[in-house]
Structure 1
Amino acid sequence: METKVLTAHVPLELAERVDETATRLERSRAWVVKQALTEWLLQEDERRRLTLEALADVEAGNVIDHDAVEAWAKSLSSGNPLSPPR
């Protein structure tokens, strides 16, 4: 696999946490950073996918009226909660 060196300035506290984690896991600093970056990118990809899915729902009119949601939320603390709006 080809690689590329990336350089980033990070706060000292974050760098120390990376070093502590590397020591605890008996791995290199580079391994810890690569794992963290990989996981963060996966989360960002999923966040983007979900956002695009939500925007498509809005464009298709698949929304719930705000007033209905608010009434439902207020009813949760009452003795007679409403069914969730659809």
Structure 2
Amino acid sequence: MSLPVYTKSQLALRNGQDKPQIWVAYQGVIYDVTESRLWRNGKHYEHWAGQDLTEELQDAPHTEGVFARFEAVGRLDAPSDSSQGGY
């Protein structure tokens, strides 16, 4: 199944404030965390919904396996001029 692609602006609207959905992105995949009590009001500890959490979660006390319990609802649109992380 192919997931729809969303821009960072579209993801930002799913922050628990602007729209009822609460979404976060991790490694290019967008997850719906709306039903999680840990994401109530769009905030989980120091993390905010509606954004890409890939870099922030490097220091998290859990692994990326935490996303297995959430539904993947889309893919994050990568900027066309990105060079796959090269600096």
Length-normalised TM-score, structure 2:
0.21
Rg (Cα) greater in structure: 1
Highest RCO, 1 vs 2 (Cα 8 Å, sep ≥ 6): 2
